[in-house]
A and B are shown apart, each in its own frame.
Chain A
Amino acid sequence: MENIDTNGNGLSHPYNSLIKMRGIWKTYQMGNEQLHALRDVSFDVRRGEYLAIIGPSGSGKSTLMNLIGCLDTPTKGEYWINGEQVAKMTDDELARIRNKEIGFVFQTFNLLARATALHNVELPLIYAGIGSSERHEKAVDALKSVELGDRVTHRPNELSGGQRQRVAIARALVNHPSILLADEPTGALDTHTSAEIMNLFEKLHEEGNTIIVVTHETEVAERAHRIISIRDGEIEKDEKTR
C-alpha cells in the first residue's frame, strides 16, 4: 500500500502487482485497414483490489477483459499475471493460467444446462485434474460460500437468475483463483437481484479476493474501489473512488 504512486504515473511497484500490463496493443486487421482496439495500455492491479473497468461499447473494454482473462493475447506489449509473463503464451499454457489464476463470471451465466449446480462448479476442478472426492468437497464448500448449499443437485432451469449467477460465482471461486473477473455480471438480472449479487461481490472482496468487474452500468462501477475508464482503446481515467 505504501508503494502506490511512487513514480507518479499510477503504476505501483511491479513486485506488489498481481496484474502488470505494459504498453499493450491489440490490433485487428480488417481488410486493408488496421483497427487498434487497444493502444498502449499500461496499468497495475494489486492483490485485494476491487476494480471496475467502464467504457461505452466499442471502447475496447471487452478486448481488455479478454486479455486480462487470458482468453486472448496482445499484439504487442507485456503482461504479467502473478509473476508469469503471459503475453507470449501458447493456447494450452493460457488454458492453465485461466484454470489456476482466473475465475470468470459472465453476463449470461454460461452454466451447462444439463449439469447440476454441483457439476457446474466442479468443472474447473476437473480440468485441474483434481480427484472426485476432493472435487466434490471443494465444490460444495464453494456453493455454501454463495449460500447455495441447499441447491447442490438443482439444474440451472430449476434456479432463479440470481441463483444461477451465484452458481457461476461459486464456479469462478472454486479453484481459488487470483482474480475474479466479471463481465457485466448484473446485465441479465433485475434491480433487486443485481443488488444481491453486488453485495456478494463486496463480501468476497472483504474476504480478500481480487475482483475486476467490466461494466457499462455506473451503479455497478460505483461499488468498486477503483475505476478505469476506457475510451477509443486508451485509458481515459484511472481513479481511486474509496
Chain B
Amino acid sequence: MAFVPSFSIVYESFRLAVGSLRSNKLRTMLTLLGIIVGVTAVIAVVTIINGLDSTVADAFSAQGSTAFSVSKRPLVITSREDFIRFNKRKDVTEQDAEALGRLCDTCWRVGTSINGTGLVKYGENRAENASVRGLSLEMFDIENVSLQAGRLWTDQEGRSGRPLCVVGTDIVDNLFEGRSPYSVIGQEIRIDGIPFTISAVAEPFGKVLGFSRDNFVYVPFEAGQRMFGSRDSIVIHVQVRDSALFETAKDDVRSIMRNRRKKEFSDKDDGFSIDSQDAFIGIYQNATSGIYFATIGVAVISLVVGGIVVMNIMLVSVTERTKEIGLRKAVGAKQSDILLQFMIESVTVTMVGGAIGVFTGYGLAYLLSFVLGFPLLISPSSAFLGVTVSFVVGMISGSYPAWSASRLSPIDAMRNE
C-alpha cells in the first residue's frame, strides 16, 4: 500500500489539475499550443500520407504488378542527354509485339498502344488535352477497362479501320453536358478533325491526386496508328497470369527484344525500356518519405518547444502554489503524493493538447483530402500515437517541476507568502 497511490489521491490530483487549468485559461491555451501544433502535424501527415498511399495503390493496382510495358523511351527521363540518347533508339513496332506474342511463353496477354493527346469536339463543344490512345483489344483486359454503356469494336472492325471509339466519362460530361452515357452511343465526335463514332462509354476511373483519369478517347490501334503512326513509336504491354512470373516474363521479353535488335552480350543499352508500376511507386515513395520525415521533424521541434513551455509553466505553477504544497504536506501528503499531483497535472495539460491536436490534425487532413480528392483514412493508430506522444512529453516536462515540488519542506513552503 505504501507505494501504490490510492485512487482518491489520483482522483484528487486529476481534479486539481483540471481546476488549475480552468482557472487560468489563457495560460493553459498558450501552454497547449506547442503540443497542439506538434500533434496536429503528426496526425495530419500520417492521415494524409495514408490516404495518398491508398489512392496511389488503388490507381496502380489497375495494372498491378502483373503488367509491364516495353517502349522506346522509359516513362521517366531525368536529363536532356538521356532524352537524346533514348531518341536514337529504334522504334518499337507491331512486329515486336507479334514476336513477343509468339515467342514469350510466360507472357499471358500482349497488347499494343499508341499514345497521344488531341482536341476532341462535338459540334461547338470541345475537350482539350484529352488523352487519345489507339489500343489493341487486349489492352482493355490488361488495363481492366470496363464499359458502362455500348460495346467494344470487334477485331474485324478494328482491323478494317472502322472509326469507332470508347470515351471516358469526362468526355461525355464535357461534350454532351449531362446526357446519359447511353444516349451518346452512336454520336459522332471529331478527334483532331477526324470523325469517330462513339461505340461505348467506359466506367470512370476516378481521380488521382486531384487529376481526373477519365478524360480520354480510346480508338482501335489501327486507327490510332493512322493518326500518330508516322510520328511515334508504339508501346507494347505485357501481362502475366501470376505475379510470381513477373520477373521471369520481364527477362524473357528482354532477351527476345535484344535478339530482335541484334544486341551483343557486351551492349549495355537494351535499345528499349521496360517499365512497370513499381517504378512509379518507388518514385512516389521516395517523394512521400521525404515529406514524411520533414513533417516529423517539424512535429518533433514543436513538441520539444511545447514540452519546454509546459515545463516552464509547471515551474511557475509550483512556485505559485508553494504554500498549498506546504499545507498538503502538513496534513499528511507524502513526497510521492505531491510528485504524483504535479505529474498528473503536467500530463493532463499535454494530453488535452494532444487530444485537441488529434482532432485538428484530422480536420486538416479532411480539408486537404477534400481539396485534393483522396480518401480520408483515419487510423486509430495515429490517434493513439498522438496521445502517447503527448503523454510522454507530459511525463518528461513534468518530472523536474514535480520533483522539486515534492522536495519542498512544509515549513519553508508555508512561510512563503
Contact = CB atoms under 8 A, between A and B. Distances in A.
Name, among B324, B330, B331, B414, the residue most crowded by chain A CB atoms within 10 Å (CB to CB): B331
Interface in A91-108: 91-92, 95-96, 98-100, 104, 106
The contact size tier of chain B is 20 to 34
A96 B332 contact: yes
A69 B330 contact: yes
B323 A99 contact: no
A110 interface: yes
B8 A131 contact: yes
Interface string B392-407: 0000000000000000
B8 A100 contact: no
Given A129-B6, A130-B8, A98 B1 contact: no
Nearest to B417: A108
A112 B332 CA distance: 15
B337 interface: yes
B411 interface: yes
B142 to A, nearest CB: 71
B19 interface: yes
Contacts of B9: 126-127, 129
Interface string B378-417: 0000000000000000000000000000000111001000
A135 interface: yes
A66 B410 CA distance: 9
The contact size tier of chain A is 20 to 34
B105 interface: no
B411 A98 contact: no
Contacts of A110: 323, 326-327, 330, 414
Contacts of A92: 334-336
B335 A91 contact: yes
Given A66-B411, A110-B414, A98 B330 contact: yes
Contact of B328 (A66, A72, A123, A175): A123
Interface of A: 66, 69, 71-72, 91-92, 95-96, 98-100, 104, 106, 110, 112, 114, 123-124, 126-132, 135, 171, 175
Nearest to B4: A129
B237 interface: no
The 6 A-B pairs at the shortest CB distance, nearest first, are namely: A99-B332, A127-B332, A129-B6, A124-B331, A95-B334, A110-B327
Contact of A123 (B1, B326, B331): B331
A104 B333 CA distance: 13
Contact of A129 (B1, B327, B330): B1
B343 to A, nearest CB: 16
A127 B327 contact: no
Name, among B324, B332, B337, the residue most crowded by chain A CB atoms within 10 Å (CB to CB): B332
A114 B19 contact: yes
B411 A135 contact: no
Contacts of A114: 19, 23
